[in-house]
Structure 1
């Protein structure tokens, strides 16, 4: 049964409840909402992943024809209480592989980088701001009001790219508070300079090579400052 076990188990519990008289077989129950998350949906073979759902998404709660027969029927109905969320990174070139037939079946929501405040993490806001300055010029305004339109940093960012599509996300600047074997609180990664050296700086240098960031003396100097940045 492998990954299908949770579904069979819940169905079994429902059938047992009907058998024991806890639920009448004709009793109507309130629909619960279910969420299906497809991470990095732009990297998938969407025809294989979605199959007949490509059509059902457009005709929710209506029957569509399926090539598969279940309980003597080839009809498929996508219920109103199932929500499908696909995530993608706009900095990934493979975003362009999503065709218009799929795009019109989803609503698109931008999740932009933001300064985080959470008791379970350490967020390096100073470094986040320094990196953000490569992409936008109105960081302070944006932090106070994240609905503020982003202003391009033309000194560093190529005119061919929008800040929202290539600005490094906030996950790069997080250290999680975790417990060691003795239940002492430690940070992960323990040495944040490793993340700067092997994650943040390499992607910025890649941006320069790919023309996302201008290959100028000012840009290279800014990246060098980030590479030498000391976190408190």
Structure 2
């Protein structure tokens, strides 16, 4: 596996020096470090893991030998202004940075098994930036020659790149951080966020806040947006997908919203066999006076649709569990257009559905069933477990019609965090903290580029009675998930399972499983507590 050829990297680096500045590069790095499924939106708060951001900055701009290891479990938050695409023009010189040069610079440390082409590199960088097409067009020059990118025949270090860079610009400085402003090399390490040349420029000074607000606290906590309150009235109903790692409490989040509205809620779970007729309805055989006849039988969507239009004074909820496990294109069908509430889309229902709705809306002066449009009081809430590989991909047109709310893992030991009270019972006299375990194992998972946050264990992956997780449950569910779905194909260096451990090695649980669990706890540095005898 080889890196992109040194001359290709240097050529792109020199070109960027003439077209980009540290402030714009800092903003783009912030986007690249944002773990977000949906396109980054204005006036929405996003959370950035400081460890990820620091490592990203170091990988991009540090050309020395003294690599630093960051793992501080802290977060920063940012929000783009509504006019950021207009304001970002002020950060761009007369000549825009070329998108291919930016891509080559970004992927300069990546090792490729085969020749990459310019089109694939550009596509990858646009996907990673995750900003709108209009913003991409404002920031970058999108004209480039479509060609295969030459790979280096011999290995080289970033120090070699730095030496060539110094020769090019006649630099004598010993500094090892590249700058795209006038000085070319600077003393500050790029990952020193409060004084480094990239992120520091995004929160120092009032003017930058017209473009982006970057803070060390959750902006939504201190500056909440009214539309995030899901007790919505006056036509502010929304489609929201709550997503996160398994066991973070996505369904619990929805349960809190609908707890006193269960009689006005329909709940379904998507799966591979679920289809349009299961969701909306269709003709089915029914019995009437001992005769079999076919008639339209409404399903969850149609039922809640009718109920909401017939009672506009109250909120109604359609809850979809595991939305990514079904074929959304097939399940929603033409109803998909209705999800774009901002455009007040109307669609013509099928004849059988229209006939049913006309009958149901006979005395309704708000709608007649001839056209479908989502009622203003019908909220659609869904959950998505990011560790599950979607059997059917959601296209971008479907995804952009939803708001997305990330449900993070809570590592705080507090009375509010019930999972901090959970313990795993090893024996009559030994146990360990469930929260300490998931914090340590998730740290291992997050450090592995092949895995990522979506493989982490959530707080409520296991739901014990009386806060005690039996060792059998822990091995059969948590350990099986970690071995089979997370670490099975990872090398031992990056795994919690050492010495070619297989899942069968945990059985019988007593004593083999307990012995193996203690080995894992030692690797993760999770303490075992001795229960005091009464």
Cα shift at 1:219 = 2.3
Aligned to 2:496: 219
Maintained 8 Å contact 1:131/1:226: no
Aligned to 2:390: 94
Aligned to 1:57: 339
Cα shift at 1:153 = 4.8
Aligned to 2:437: 130
Deviation track 1:92-140 (CA, whole Å, cap 9, x = no partner) reads 1117722212111111111122257469885238222223212228xxx
The structure-2 alpha-carbon separation of the partners of 1:208 and 1:96, relative to structure 1 and needing over 3 Å to count, comes to farther
Aligned to 2:488: 209
Instruction: Give 1 or 2 for the bigger CA radius of gyration.
Output: 2
Q: For residue 348 of structure 2, give the secondary structure of its aligned residue in structure 1.
A: strand
The structure-2 alpha-carbon separation of the partners of 1:65 and 1:59, relative to structure 1 and needing over 3 Å to count, comes to farther
Aligned to 1:174: 463
The structure-2 alpha-carbon separation of the partners of 1:131 and 1:62, relative to structure 1 and needing over 3 Å to count, comes to closer
Q: For residue 349 of structure 2, give the secondary structure of its aligned residue in structure 1.
A: strand
Aligned-pair Cα RMSD in Å? 4.0
Aligned to 2:361: none
Cα shift at 1:86 = 1.5
**For structure 2, which runs of at least 5 residues remain unmatched after alignment?**
1-285, 287-296, 359-367, 424-431, 499-515
Q: Distance between the aligned counterparts of 2:435 and 2:418, measured in 1?
A: 18
Pick one of 343, 364, 371 that aligns with 1:75.
371
Return structure 1 stretches of 4+ with deviation > 3 angstroms.
1-5, 59-62, 115-122, 221-224, 226-232
Aligned to 1:184: none
Alignment of 1:5-44 (within 5 A): 31-44=313-326
Pick one of 406, 428, 453 that aligns with 1:110.
406
Deviation track 1:167-217 (CA, whole Å, cap 9, x = no partner) reads 11111343234xxxxxxxxx7xx7611221101111111211144xx5327
Q: Distance between the aligned counterparts of 1:95 and 1:85, measured in 2?
A: 20
Maintained 8 Å contact 2:487/2:495: no
TM-score after normalising by structure 2:
0.29
Task: Give the number of aligned pairs.
Answer: 183
Q: Distance between the aligned counterparts of 1:31 and 1:88, measured in 2?
A: 30
Maintained 8 Å contact 1:42/1:98: yes
TM-score after normalising by structure 1:
0.62
Maintained 8 Å contact 1:33/1:83: yes
Q: Which moved more, 1:167-176 or 1:111-120?
A: 111-120
**For structure 1, which runs of at least 5 residues remain unmatched after alignment?**
15-28, 138-151, 178-186
Cα shift at 1:90 = 0.4
Q: Distance between the aligned counterparts of 1:132 and 1:191, measured in 2?
A: 16
Q: Distance between the aligned counterparts of 1:58 and 1:193, measured in 2?
A: 48
